[in-house]
Chains A and B, each alone.
Chain A
Amino acid sequence: MAQKEFSVVGKKIPRIDGYERVTGQAQYTGDYQLPGMLYARVLRSPYPHAKIISIDTSKAEKLPGVKAVIHHQNAQVPWASGGHTHKRYIFNNPVRYVGDSVAAVAATDRHIAEDALALIEVKYEKISHVLDAKEALKPDAPKISPDGNLSVGKGSFSAPITEEWGDLEKGFKEADRTFEDTYISKHVNNAQIERRVSVAKWEGAKLTVWASTQGVSNARTDIAKDLDLPLSKVRVICKYMGGGFGNKNQAQDYDLMAAVLAKVTGQPVKLEFTREDDFIGMHGRWASEQHYKIGVKKDGTITAVDLDAVTNVGAYRKQSGNLSGTDFYQIPNFKKVVKPVHTNTVVGANYRAPAYPQSVFGFASFLDQIAHELGVNPLDMFMRNRVRLYKSKTPFTSNFLEECIVEGAKKIGWNEKWHKAGATPGAKKHGIGMALGGYPFRPGLGAATIRVNPDGSAHVLVGVTDIGTGAKSTMAIIAAEALGIPLNRIQLTNGDTDVTPFCIGESGSRATSFTGPAVIAAAEDVRRLIFNVAAPQLKAKAEDLDLKDGNVFVKSDPTQRLPLGRAVARSGELIGRATTNPVFKGVEGKSFAAHFAEVEVDTWTGHVKITRYVAAHDSGTILNRLPAESQIMGGVMQGIGMALTEELLIDRPTAIPLNPSYRDAKVPTHLESPEVEVIFIEHSDPYGPFGGKVIGEPPITPAVATVANAIFNATGRRFKELPITPDKILRAVRV
């Protein structure tokens, strides 16, 4: 598709709900107060693996204000019964990690609910536990899942995850040198600022859940399945969402607990997680141990990659546990075996680009190391091995990774600044590093409704929740562009399954690519209706009409025109709708990125300061530059945290998480935020809505490895285990 002239797309447009967000008017899930509403809290297991022998709630129930206590005996509700993995309940017996839900209390206020938790008497019989993924695979390890510790799932969730192409043996034979090493990443919490909260209310047989979810439609599907209700009897609402980064996909156990407590008590229930609950009771990014064998030619060209890895998915399998960081490289002969393993720890599941940053860290660090050992400049190494064909065979819808590398390197001044590792004299050492990343751009099911009012204004109804990506604004921009009316004539209604049509939800960077095409199709649908109504008024044929800037006009003579409000004044309401499900045939979609960082490593303190950061992205046409740039900067920040500070520490003997709080998890602050220069390599993608590809997930993918490689260039020391904390740096540079 040639680059089109757009009227609304491609500008820097402030979010359409900016006013609500800066005035405190935006109503997030926890802000809803309903008459007679109860507050609920969750009791969690103090043991990593134990059978519940008895649970005595009598003292808790006697506490004035307590209305209901639910637990595994009186509330056996499956959680994610429609999922791919083994069955899990909202309360499980045995409990399988410190933090596993044991009971929930509803009371007249949250303090009473908290007091009541302390009055529940639970007798546990401890079972031996295992924390390490490799230990868990040993035959004599404690058995966590009934099916064994190698997680068993269905389809893409099966285990082990294997992938193979080319001829590995031949590839290694062709290599001039073969390298082998292991890289390790740790469990990192998503740590979104909005704690989990759910408000549930029954009206007869109809359940309404104000959820904090990344996808209202999927949340509804899950809740209906788990509670065995028809879809029509479940309404899920989420209009403002305070972040999730993958750990608020679909419905979660607390939505179900709130629904059950509301049913039992006959009153609306608000169930709130505490911050500790949020850190240990849900999930973070799966930890991994990645063993690579890589064959290369003398010039650095990859001939074969063999990846053998374990990932720690914790006590329950929620998502894939895969590692996909090799995606950005042209690998002619490839084999991957990833084993998602159960341990008695917090669940490892989706966090922004789930299978990528930890995996890119391992692979791009190792490539950087191999470049060093071959005496090849890393820029040449990454350029030479950049991906051209998906899995060495399928072309991409568009691929401007090369331009990302070229422009990013130019911007940071790679050729002038790169030096041999550890070459800077003095205690403060300069380093520069880079890595490649991106994320799949897939087509899929989307739906939208557009209602054009008699005054020419329009309602756009879409199911997006807008988790911070600016999806509401993007949908309004797409609608304005496709309809041909000014953006300020559009009212967007989102996130309510009784009102808005199906939406895949904001996970996997799918809002724009799935729902965007539906908005365009719905606009085309309603434009047809508009032209039918306007044709007799303009004494023209409907097919000869066009609509732009809010005016309906005759294509051959634009002076023959009517303001939209006049054209549809007597039509009541014109409704356009579309459900779209495009497919890619013989092509694969991907957004690409090349990141570059400069660091200063203080070899006296071990402190790493990121002095400059350049992020070059190929995401096709950028639909709205303002939030798009914010997304890039934010992904980089999360990557920096993962690279330098964040890790959930677990006390070995007790299996208790030691740092489930912001301060102790060391989430980056304003003081750790470097300037991030964002470059968009903009080329319209032939398959994307208005040429756009995905943008939410790509920026975190190369960030961890970029920082790690810059630290190597500064210190001459390779860090193979995350996070790269000052103590590790000091130990390495002092030897």
Chain B
Amino acid sequence: MEEEAKGKGVSRRDFLKGLGGGAIGTAVISTGLLDPGKVEAYPTESIGTSRGKSAVNLKVNGKAYRLEVEHRETLAEALRDQLGFTGTKIGCDRGECGACTVVINGRNIYSCSQLAVWMQGKEILTIEGLAKGDKLDPLQEAFIEHDGPQCGFCTSGQIMSGKALLLRNARPTEEQVRRALSGNLCRCGNYNREVAAVLAAASKVR
């Protein structure tokens, strides 16, 4: 709970604040988990303590960066706002939709639910790091050919989850692709296209 509270992306505090200060007493009903007494005091306490900054050394798309990040800054925010990697999208900012998926040390992870300060020494791959110069990654090519993006807002996340899957399993079955991408929502409902694209990319790489 302690760590969770600090992480902006997953904090219940933020959920409560989304409803506004006046909602605190009643919003508890909707989470059903917090002690109202504690919640009342929370926002004022957290201001001031959460604004410290630390330096963090990380690698993004093969390049080393040293960043000054606020402790409550998420990886998704650092990537987008500090480094300009806006291909990583934020859809929910609370670990549900997967638009912010990046690959960290080989695994697909929601970057909205990781604090930037936790990224010390980590290697991060974003959508911008997939192509080798002008040569698109087979996944990117397959997403174009198979009409993977409709509105395109979830596309980066879908591709990054596909990438992490193919890194650990070069010959996935359709069922395995669906499972691997199941944390990436697509409200355009383009799931079958995205699955077809990952399978096509896998067969190309083979």
Enumerate chain A interface residues (CB-CB to B < 8 A): 14-15, 18-19, 21-28, 30-31, 33, 43-47, 63, 98-99, 102, 111, 114-115, 117-122, 124, 190-195, 240-243, 245, 274-277, 467-470, 626-627, 629-631, 633-638, 651, 654, 656-658, 661-663, 667-671, 673, 675-676
Assess whether A45 is in contact with B20, with CB atoms less than 8 Å apart.
yes
Whether, in the assembled complex, B96 has its beta carbon less than 8 Å from a beta carbon of chain A, the answer is yes
- Expressed in whole angstroms, the Cα–Cα distance for A513 and B56 within the complex equals 53
Assess whether B192 is in contact with A673, with CB atoms less than 8 Å apart.
yes
Given that A23-B87, A23-B140, A46-B20 are contacting pairs, would A626 and B188 also be in contact in the complex, using a CB cutoff of 8 Å?
no
Q: Which residues of B contact A26 (CB under 8 A)?
A: 152
Q: Which residues of A contact B193 (CB under 8 A)?
A: 630, 633
Assess whether A117 is in contact with B89, with CB atoms less than 8 Å apart.
no
Whether, in the assembled complex, B187 has its beta carbon less than 8 Å from a beta carbon of chain A, the answer is yes
Q: Which residues of A contact B89 (CB under 8 A)?
A: 28, 30, 193-194, 242
Given contacts A46-B27, A193-B97, 19 further A-B contacts (CB under 8 A): A22-B140, A98-B23, A111-B50, A111-B51, A111-B73, A118-B21, A119-B43, A124-B22, A191-B187, A192-B151, A276-B18, A467-B151, A468-B152, A633-B191, A637-B189, A661-B94, A662-B97, A670-B184, A670-B191
Q: Using an 8 Å CB-CB cutoff, how does the interface string of B116-130 with A read, 1 for contact, 0 for none?
A: 000000000011101
Interface residues of B, count at CB 8 A: 79
Assess whether B189 is in contact with A28, with CB atoms less than 8 Å apart.
no
Assess whether B151 is in contact with A194, with CB atoms less than 8 Å apart.
yes
Assess whether B97 is in contact with A241, with CB atoms less than 8 Å apart.
no
Given that A114-B14, A637-B191 are contacting pairs, would A671 and B178 also be in contact in the complex, using a CB cutoff of 8 Å?
yes
Given that A23-B136, A634-B190, A670-B178 are contacting pairs, would A121 and B21 also be in contact in the complex, using a CB cutoff of 8 Å?
yes
Nearest chain A residue, comparing its CB with the CB of B15: A276
Q: Which residues of B contact A658 (CB under 8 A)?
A: 29-30
- Expressed in whole angstroms, the Cα–Cα distance for A24 and B8 within the complex equals 24
Assess whether B91 is in contact with A22, with CB atoms less than 8 Å apart.
no
Q: Which residues of A contact B14 (CB under 8 A)?
A: 114, 274
- Expressed in whole angstroms, the Cα–Cα distance for A58 and B78 within the complex equals 31
Assess whether B192 is in contact with A675, with CB atoms less than 8 Å apart.
yes
Nearest chain B residue, comparing its CB with the CB of A668: B189
In B86-118, the 8 Å CB interface with A consists of 86-94, 96-97, 99
Assess whether B144 is in contact with A18, with CB atoms less than 8 Å apart.
yes
Assess whether B96 is in contact with A15, with CB atoms less than 8 Å apart.
no
- Expressed in whole angstroms, the Cα–Cα distance for A184 and B29 within the complex equals 27
Assess whether A23 is in contact with B128, with CB atoms less than 8 Å apart.
yes
Q: Nearest Cβ in chain B — how far from A253, in angstroms?
A: 16
A-B contact pairs, 27 of them (CB 8 A): A15-B149, A21-B152, A22-B136, A24-B86, A25-B87, A33-B81, A43-B21, A46-B20, A63-B47, A111-B51, A115-B46, A193-B89, A193-B154, A194-B89, A243-B187, A274-B93, A468-B188, A469-B150, A630-B147, A633-B191, A636-B189, A656-B27, A656-B30, A658-B30, A670-B184, A670-B186, A670-B191
Given that A243-B187, A635-B189, A667-B187 are contacting pairs, would A193 and B18 also be in contact in the complex, using a CB cutoff of 8 Å?
no
Enumerate chain B interface residues (CB-CB to A < 8 A): 8, 14-15, 17-24, 26-27, 29-30, 43-44, 46-47, 50-51, 70, 72-73, 80-81, 84-94, 96-97, 99, 126-128, 130-131, 136, 140, 143-145, 147-156, 159, 177-179, 181-195
Assess whether A22 is in contact with B148, with CB atoms less than 8 Å apart.
yes
Assess whether B143 is in contact with A118, with CB atoms less than 8 Å apart.
no
- Expressed in whole angstroms, the Cα–Cα distance for A91 and B115 within the complex equals 34
Assess whether A18 is in contact with B44, with CB atoms less than 8 Å apart.
no
Assess whether B88 is in contact with A24, with CB atoms less than 8 Å apart.
yes
Assess whether A102 is in contact with B20, with CB atoms less than 8 Å apart.
yes
Given that A43-B20, A651-B30, A656-B30 are contacting pairs, would A638 and B189 also be in contact in the complex, using a CB cutoff of 8 Å?
yes
Q: For chain B, what secondary structure do more than half of its interface residues adopt (helix, strand, loop), or is it mixed?
A: loop
Q: Nearest Cβ in chain B — how far from A534, in angstroms?
A: 36
Q: Which residues of A contact B22 (CB under 8 A)?
A: 45-47, 122, 124
Q: Nearest Cβ in chain A — how far from B105, in angstroms?
A: 20
Q: Nearest Cβ in chain B — how far from A622, in angstroms?
A: 14
Q: Which residues of A contact B186 (CB under 8 A)?
A: 193, 670
Q: Nearest Cβ in chain A — how far from B66, in angstroms?
A: 20
Assess whether B152 is in contact with A275, with CB atoms less than 8 Å apart.
no
- Report, nearest first, the 7 A-B pairs whose CB atoms are least far apart: A24-B87, A637-B189, A46-B23, A242-B153, A468-B151, A634-B189, A673-B191
- Expressed in whole angstroms, the Cα–Cα distance for A727 and B144 within the complex equals 41
Nearest chain A residue, comparing its CB with the CB of B8: A111
Assess whether B189 is in contact with A194, with CB atoms less than 8 Å apart.
no
Q: Which residues of A contact B128 (CB under 8 A)?
A: 23-24
Q: Nearest Cβ in chain A — how far from B187, in angstroms?
A: 5
Total A-B residue pairs with C-beta atoms closer than 8 Å?
235
**Option from A28, A656, A670 in Cβ contact (under 8 Å) with B194:** A670
Assess whether A31 is in contact with B86, with CB atoms less than 8 Å apart.
yes
**Option from B92, B131, B183 in Cβ contact (under 8 Å) with A661:** B92
Given that A18-B143, A111-B70, A121-B21 are contacting pairs, would A630 and B96 also be in contact in the complex, using a CB cutoff of 8 Å?
no
Nearest chain B residue, comparing its CB with the CB of A636: B189
Q: Which residues of A contact B87 (CB under 8 A)?
A: 23-25
Nearest chain B residue, comparing its CB with the CB of A43: B20
Nearest chain A residue, comparing its CB with the CB of B80: A31
Q: Determine which residue in A193, A661, A675 has the highest number of CB atoms from chain B within 10 A of its CB, and name it.
A: A193
Nearest chain B residue, comparing its CB with the CB of A667: B185
Q: Which residues of B contact A631 (CB under 8 A)?
A: 150
- Expressed in whole angstroms, the Cα–Cα distance for A449 and B19 within the complex equals 45
Nearest chain A residue, comparing its CB with the CB of B155: A21
Q: Which residues of A contact B156 (CB under 8 A)?
A: 24
Nearest chain A residue, comparing its CB with the CB of B84: A33
- Expressed in whole angstroms, the Cα–Cα distance for A14 and B51 within the complex equals 46
Nearest chain A residue, comparing its CB with the CB of B73: A111
Nearest chain B residue, comparing its CB with the CB of A674: B192
Assess whether B182 is in contact with A669, with CB atoms less than 8 Å apart.
yes
**Option from A15, A25, A111, A651 in Cβ contact (under 8 Å) with B147:** A15
**Option from A21, A117, A638, A661 in Cβ contact (under 8 Å) with B20:** A117
Q: Nearest Cβ in chain A — how far from B156, in angstroms?
A: 5
Q: Which residues of B contact A274 (CB under 8 A)?
A: 14, 18, 93
Assess whether B26 is in contact with A656, with CB atoms less than 8 Å apart.
yes
Q: Nearest Cβ in chain B — how far from A292, in angstroms?
A: 29
Q: Nearest Cβ in chain A — how far from B188, in angstroms?
A: 5
Assess whether A654 is in contact with B26, with CB atoms less than 8 Å apart.
yes
Q: Nearest Cβ in chain A — how far from B58, in angstroms?
A: 18
- Expressed in whole angstroms, the Cα–Cα distance for A242 and B20 within the complex equals 26
Q: Nearest Cβ in chain A — how far from B185, in angstroms?
A: 6
- Expressed in whole angstroms, the Cα–Cα distance for A658 and B15 within the complex equals 12
- Expressed in whole angstroms, the Cα–Cα distance for A27 and B86 within the complex equals 8
Q: Which residues of B contact A626 (CB under 8 A)?
A: 147
Assess whether A627 is in contact with B150, with CB atoms less than 8 Å apart.
yes
**Option from B15, B148, B150 in Cβ contact (under 8 Å) with A634:** B150
Assess whether A19 is in contact with B93, with CB atoms less than 8 Å apart.
no
Q: Which residues of A contact B192 (CB under 8 A)?
A: 633, 673, 675-676
Q: Nearest Cβ in chain A — how far from B135, in angstroms?
A: 12
- Expressed in whole angstroms, the Cα–Cα distance for A242 and B80 within the complex equals 17
- Expressed in whole angstroms, the Cα–Cα distance for A513 and B185 within the complex equals 30
Q: Nearest Cβ in chain B — how far from A290, in angstroms?
A: 25
Assess whether A117 is in contact with B187, with CB atoms less than 8 Å apart.
no
Assess whether B94 is in contact with A275, with CB atoms less than 8 Å apart.
yes
- Expressed in whole angstroms, the Cα–Cα distance for A217 and B182 within the complex equals 37
Q: Determine which residue in B19, B148, B183 has the highest number of CB atoms from chain A within 10 A of its CB, and name it.
A: B19
- Expressed in whole angstroms, the Cα–Cα distance for A676 and B23 within the complex equals 43
Q: Nearest Cβ in chain A — how far from B165, in angstroms?
A: 12
Assess whether B149 is in contact with A18, with CB atoms less than 8 Å apart.
yes
Nearest chain B residue, comparing its CB with the CB of A637: B189
Q: Which residues of B contact A18 (CB under 8 A)?
A: 143-144, 147, 149
**Option from A19, A24, A28, A121 in Cβ contact (under 8 Å) with B127:** A24
Assess whether B131 is in contact with A23, with CB atoms less than 8 Å apart.
yes
Assess whether B152 is in contact with A44, with CB atoms less than 8 Å apart.
no
Q: Nearest Cβ in chain A — how far from B2, in angstroms?
A: 18
**Option from A15, A277, A662, A668 in Cβ contact (under 8 Å) with B18:** A277
Q: Which residues of B contact A46 (CB under 8 A)?
A: 19-20, 22-24, 26-27
- Expressed in whole angstroms, the Cα–Cα distance for A96 and B55 within the complex equals 46
Q: Which residues of B contact A654 (CB under 8 A)?
A: 26, 29
